[in-house]
Structure 1
Amino acid sequence: MSAQSPLLPIQTAMYAAMTDDATLMGLATGVYDYVPETAAYPYIVIGEATEVPRNSQDRYGWETVPTLHVWDKYRGYARVLRIGSRIGEILDHAPLVLPGYDVVAIRFEFSQTLTDPEPPGDVRHLVLRHRIVTEKPI
């Protein structure tokens, strides 16, 4: 028997932490799981995730790595980098509350700046990943 994945509670907690932060919401127009066509730049998307088991003798465990995307049409990377920096302040080593799970660690893992190559080629993209280690008693 295995325990239920913490992926949805993690997504919910990340969304709440980011949208509750007035500074971040002053930099970005929104945080989305599904981006409406009317969304204005810059915005944040909670995207793909990986999850691997990290069980021990008396606990279920997971290492979950959600990917965040910051999208903007600003000339240059300054705005997406400011948004990414604020996301790091909110999430890195954060006290996320996941009902039913113990959060062992949250660590910044990766970021990358990209330019969308599709014409007109003016969309800037920042990819961010944080590793979230959780456990739950068996």
Structure 2
Amino acid sequence: MATALRPVQTAVYQKLTGSTALMALVSGIFDEVPEPAPYPYVSFGSILEYPDDAHDRQGLDVLVTLHVWSKALGNGQAADIFAALDAALDRVPLAVAGFTDVSIKHTQHQSIKDPDPDVRHINATYRVRLTRLT
């Protein structure tokens, strides 16, 4: 089985950093968040991969979790960042190296109370479905 973890993360990263609307709102998109983190920003969370084969081709179902982080008062800034993130990804063409029939769709998001009362946090999950090129 060939994994799509790295190619999917690369494609999502490129799509997000290519969004001028999103990048105007955040200090960066991070896999590993630098310390101290420059708020607001988006970070990658877990990426889960499941086989979803056709009869003669390898298919994969990949769940990508992204996190929005803000220190602005209230939830408004985090919500605006999530909206820009969602506009950049949900049902938008996504090119993933080594794969075809790629689709990406928003599956859920939630606003979370962070232990630090100054931090606003939204996590969002996207489902990427794809087929390995033969």
Number of the residue aligned with 1:20: 18
Answering whether residue 114 of structure 2 is matched by residue 124 of structure 1, we say no
Number of the residue aligned with 1:105: 103
CA distance in structure 2 between the aligned counterparts of 1:6 and 1:125, rounded to whole angstroms: 27
Q: 2:80 is matched by which residue type in structure 1?
A: R
Q: What are structure 2's unaligned runs of at least 5 residues? A: none
Number of the residue aligned with 2:55: 57
Q: What are structure 1's unaligned runs of at least 5 residues? A: none
Q: 1:29 is matched by which residue type in structure 2?
A: S
TM-score (norm 2): 0.94
Tell me how far 1:86 sits from its aligned partner: 0.8
Tell me how far 1:63 sits from its aligned partner: 0.6
TM-score (norm 1): 0.92
CA distance in structure 2 between the aligned counterparts of 1:44 and 1:103, rounded to whole angstroms: 27
Answering whether residue 35 of structure 2 is matched by residue 37 of structure 1, we say yes
CA distance in structure 1 between the aligned counterparts of 2:30 and 2:102, rounded to whole angstroms: 26
3-state SS of paired residue (1:114): strand
Q: Percent identity?
A: 36
CA distance in structure 2 between the aligned counterparts of 1:11 and 1:81, rounded to whole angstroms: 23
Is the contact made by 1:103 and 1:132 (CA closer than 8 Å) also made in structure 2? no
CA distance in structure 2 between the aligned counterparts of 1:6 and 1:103, rounded to whole angstroms: 13
CA distance in structure 2 between the aligned counterparts of 1:115 and 1:35, rounded to whole angstroms: 19
Number of residue pairs matched by the alignment:
134
Aligned-residue Cα RMSD (Å) equals: 1.2
Tell me how far 1:47 sits from its aligned partner: 1.3
1:25-73 Cα offsets, whole Å, 9 max, x none, are 1101100000000331000001111111101111101110010001111
CA distance in structure 1 between the aligned counterparts of 2:22 and 2:102, rounded to whole angstroms: 25
**4+ residue segments displaced more than 6 Å:** none
Answering whether residue 38 of structure 2 is matched by residue 71 of structure 1, we say no
Number of the residue aligned with 2:130: 134
